[in-house]
Amino acid sequence: MHCLERGKDPREYTLIAYGGAGPVHAYRVAQVLGISTIFYPLRAGVMSAFGFLVTAPSFEMIRADLAPLESADTIRIAEFLREMEAEGKALVSTCGVATSKLGTVIEANVRFSGQSFELSVPVKGALSKNELARIKQRFFDLYEARYHRLNRDVPVEIVSWRVIVKGPTPSVTIDTLRDAAGERPVKALKGQRKVYMPEAGAFMNCPIYDRYALREGARLRGPAVIEERESTVVVGPDAAITVDKSCNLWVKRRGVKSKIVRKKVARD
């Protein structure tokens, strides 16, 4: 649903499995959506918490200011955008980031008059009548890319303005493969057990692997269960698994070919 609302085909993407339950179910979700590649990051069960700790500090502000795009008061808008930027920098600097290292992104939330939803359009230069014209063209490009049709005769309006102040992304190096004793397990195969596989309509003998013992370049075949502390990866019989240098798993569903057919879309 989310892909279609944005004019995207899920078969063109890689599915990322995160969260405690994500790696358990991602393989079957990929089957339903026709996705051929699945990415299983290490520590998927705590990925959101980890991301919160290492992401760039930022603050986002939105100010409603409904107006027709062509007649927007650029002087007044530029003034409150500067105020929003100053407020955002003051807030982000409390995280210990020097003001000189902060960056700012400005977006206009734009829609056709009468619509209920808007698109975020980047502002790439000093706000002026010329930049408003460029914002309108960017909106047309985004709208057509998402909905595959466009009517340039409908009036365009700005609903609100967004200012994002962001610090630099921290440089983080971690070793997540060692256990509490500071050692990495040596033996990857832990054993076998019966696991139900819908393709077979029955329980199948399935190898069970220790995620932390898998080495870079290792290749496995499904069906397989790969266990770690925060989650468990479950893949079916047609899975080809590759381990990268960070112990992330890349799964290709064997025999899956692209069925994407591109058609020309009539435009208004």
- Model confidence pLDDT, tens digit, residues 86-132: 999 999 999 888 888 999 999 999 999 989 889 999 999 899 999 99
Describe the strand order of the beta sheet including 58-68 as a list of residue ranges: 58-68, 156-166, 103-112, 119-122
Q: Is 238 exposed, middle or buried (0-12, 13-18, 19+ CB in 10 A)?
A: middle
CA dihedral 117, 123, 126, 128 (to 10 degrees): -40
Domain boundaries 56-166, CATH class: alpha beta
Point out which residues pair with 158 in neighbouring strands.
67, 110
Evaluated on CA atoms 64, 66, 71, 76, the torsion sign reads negative
Q: Distances in Å between the alpha carbon of 85 and those of 61, 89, 90, 168, 203? A: 9, 6, 9, 16, 59
Name the packing angle between helices 129-147 and 74-93 (round to 10°).
70
Nearest to 36 by CA among 54, 62, 55, 10: 10
- Please tell me which residue, 267 or 240, carries the higher pLDDT value: 240
Banded model confidence at residue 266, pLDDT cuts 50, 70, 90: very low
Looking at this protein, which amino acid is placed at residue 17? A
Residue 254 confidence (pLDDT):
83
- Model confidence pLDDT, tens digit, residues 157-215: 999 999 999 999 888 776 666 554 556 667 889 999 999 998 888 999 999 999 988 98
Q: Residue 113's Cα: distance from chain center in Å?
A: 30
- Model confidence pLDDT, tens digit, residues 42-68: 989 988 888 888 888 999 999 999 999
Residues in the chain: 268
**Domain boundaries defined on the chain:** 2-52+183-253, 56-166
Peptide bond preceding 170: is omega within 30 degrees of 0, i.e. cis?
Answer: no
Contact by Cβ (8 Å): 16, 27: no
153, containing H or E segment: none
- Please tell me which residue, 140 or 173, carries the higher pLDDT value: 140
Q: What is the pTM of this model?
A: 0.71
**What's the rounded Cα separation, in Å, for the pair 215 and 195?**
24
Looking only at the bridges linking them, the beta strands covering 219-221 and 239-243 are: antiparallel
